Amino acid sequence: MTGGGTGVMMALPVPRRIVTANREDGRSYIAEDGPSASHLTVPGRPGYAIYNLWRMTGLISEVDSALEQTGIHPPIGGNVIRIVDFPPSPKDPEARRKQFAATFGGPFKDARLDGAGSRAAGMHITQTVDYAVMLQGEIVALMDEGEVIMKAGDVLIQRGTYHAWENRSNEMARIVFVLIDAKP
């Protein structure tokens, strides 16, 4: 796989998901241990991958609905944790616009996109509080006003604001997102 920069870029490994549970007698155990079963790619955006690790409709949920690829939002009153791999963004603005159109016309078509005049392709808003934890590489978090480069270990708390993500490096970037429903 080649990225938006130079050289050859390798896909990142599928995230390992470990899930615990309690038996009827109250003893805890490892219920699952293996690669994420939820893996979604966007044909118009090579290298971009989404892994829903867990979705819940309340504080405690015995039902793993991570396999449900229902868009960007968590269930009403619930949350979702996902890992997203971002390949390097194309340098050409039209190619970048086409990739974001593929993303927001596909798996994230439920996000409210900003109209004409937005500062970056893919500017969108959700009615969620998001915790974005940079795991690998670096990415630029763009707001209507300002931007910040995030590197491994950085955490961004996104509170229902228009935002976009751009990987301006030549390497893959991986972020874990925890989205918590914050609809009024």
Q: Band the pLDDT of 5: cuts 50, 70, 90.
A: very low
Q: What is the DSSP string of 47-116?
A: T-EEEEEEEESSSS-S---TT----SSPPTT-EEEEEEEEPPPPSSHHHHHHHHHHHHTTTTTTSEE--T
> How far is the C-alpha of 117 from the C-alpha of 115, rounded, in Å?
6
Contact 181, 76 (CB under 8 A): yes
Q: Band the pLDDT of 149: cuts 50, 70, 90.
A: very high
pLDDT for residue 35 is more than 60? yes
Mean pLDDT taken over the chain: 79
CATH number of 16-181: 2.60.120.10
State the pLDDT at residue 86: 93
State the pLDDT at residue 15: 85
- Greater pLDDT, 112 or 49: 49
State the pLDDT at residue 177: 93
